[in-house]
Amino acid sequence: MRTLQLGVSDLIVPRIALGCMRLSQDRAEALRTIRTALDAGITFFDHADIYQRGRAEETFAAIWEEAPHLRQSIYLESKCGIRVAGDTDPRAPFRYDFSYEHIISAVEGSLRRLKTDYLDVLLLHRPDALMEPEEVARAFDELHATGKVRWFGVSNHTPGQIQLLQRWVNQPLIANQLQLSLEHTNLIDEGIWMNRSDLPEPSRGEGTLDFCRLHNITIQAWSPLAGGRLGGRRPEHADPRLERTSAVVAEMAAEKGISPEAILVAWILRHPARILPIIGTMNPERIANACRADEIELTREEWYRLYEAGRGVRVP
């Protein structure tokens, strides 16, 4: 599989990653999923401390028992900052926490569950309204100095939030993980529908796509397969837009002799921002299918045909 550089880091990773939120708690099944990804060329795995309350990280670590030396060729990313209701106090609500104490504790927990000495990348999961950037900087400095985290980034952050953090944080923020698919095109819409009042649906891209490109921050696209809704899985409720988009995706896949999953991922890879899709399926067949996106490159016309299908209207 072809590779890309994560931001300004020295990490050269496959241009498709696997998100481990839904990794099976059955050890044998989880190992089959991981091996399928490795066989397809994926060596970059995305985690978060809240995925299955940490059990996804624990299950993933079973791979070291079969291949102890594999850690040297695998890139591990995890996220922290989300705390569930009842954590530490029965009255505590679902919330975000970028305090020094929580960041340090969360990373220590991820390292313990993943059975590794370091994370290649740590992302702050969702913006904390009570963030004090000095505390984040203090935590990052300690984690970097002790070798527990090599590089840092964010997830679901706006340009202003990134700039605020970067003013205090000494390490470059190399990634911003954001939702992007043919079903969810907000990041791209605002550039195309700029200064128009007839945008079919609201777009709150906040200039994030261009900002990340200007500052060498790699966008990692989460849910690029739209939860399977554009690849053949029927939604619970009829949705003309999804049905229309799915039909165009299926037709193009048939023309190229590949799967709908590959078309969906190829659509993201075709963008010049060098966006890194993080596929979330745990189905070995769908993982292998999605990775075939690396074999093709959509034409400009094919890209816009898919975009038009996803939006439901032609570009202005």
pLDDT beyond 70 at 234: no
pLDDT in tens, 152-170: 999 999 999 999 999 999 9
Q: What is the mean pLDDT of residues 265-288?
A: 97
Greater model confidence, 242 or 101: 101
pLDDT given at position 1: 97
Asked if the model's pLDDT at residue 204 lies above 80, the reply is no
Is residue 253 in some structural domain?
Answer: no
Whether 55 is in a domain gets the answer yes
Torsion of CA 201, 202, 204, 210, to 10 degrees: 50
pLDDT digits (tens, 9 = 90+) for 12-44: 999 999 999 999 999 999 999 999 999 999 999
Q: Residues 51, 20: contact at Cβ < 8 Å?
A: yes
**Inside any domain, residue 278:** no
Which residues are tagged catalytic? Answer: 51
- Three-class SS state of 41: coil
The number of domains in the chain is 1
Burial of 213 by CB count in 10 Å (0-12 exposed, 13-18 middle, 19+ buried)?
A: middle
Domain assignment present for residue 207? The answer is no
- Per DSSP, what are the bridge partners of residue 306? none
Kindly state whether residue 153 falls inside one of the protein's structural domains.
yes
**Residue 282 confidence (pLDDT) above 80:** yes
Residue 102 has pLDDT above 70, yes or no: yes
Query: Does residue 288 lie in a domain region?
Result: no
Q: What is the rounded distance in angstroms from the CA atom of residue 170 to the CA atom of residue 167?
A: 8
pLDDT value, residue 154:
98
Which structural domain range is residue 163 located in? 11-179
233 pLDDT band (50/70/90 cuts)? low
pLDDT band at 241 (very low <50, low <70, confident <90, very high): confident
Which residues are bridge partners to 173 per DSSP?
Answer: 152
Q: Is residue 187 part of a domain?
A: no
pLDDT > 90? residue 85: yes
Residue 264 has pLDDT above 80, yes or no: yes
- Mean pLDDT value of segment 55-63: 97
Greater model confidence, 262 or 242: 262
Q: Give the DSSP H or E segment for 46.
A: strand 44-46
Determine how many CB atoms are found less than 10 A away from the CB of residue 158.
Answer: 17
Position 205 scores a pLDDT of: 82
Return the percentage of the chain with pLDDT > 70, whole number.
Answer: 97
pLDDT for the residue numbered 246: 95
Please state, rounded to an integer, the average pLDDT across all residues of the chain.
95
What band does 200 get if pLDDT is binned at 50, 70 and 90? low
Share of the chain above pLDDT 90, in %: 86
Asked if residue 167 belongs to a domain, the reply is yes
122 or 243, greater pLDDT: 122
In the predicted structure, residue 235 carries a pLDDT above the cut 70: no
Q: How confident is the model at residue 202 (pLDDT cuts 50, 70, 90)?
A: low
Q: Which pLDDT belongs to residue 87?
A: 87
What residue spans of the chain are helical by DSSP H?
27-39, 55-60, 63-66, 100-114, 133-145, 159-168, 186-192, 208-214, 240-256, 260-269, 284-291, 300-311
Is 245 in contact with 182 (CB distance < 8 Å)? yes
Cα distances (angstroms) measured from residue 60 to each of 165, 211, 294, 302: 31, 34, 25, 37
So what's the pLDDT on residue 46? Answer: 98
In this predicted structure, what is the pLDDT of residue 68? 87
In degrees and rounded to multiples of 5, residue 50 shows phi and psi of: -90, -5
pLDDT at 88: 84
User: For position 95, which CATH number holds?
Assistant: 3.20.20.100
Per-residue pLDDT averaged across 89-112, rounded? 97
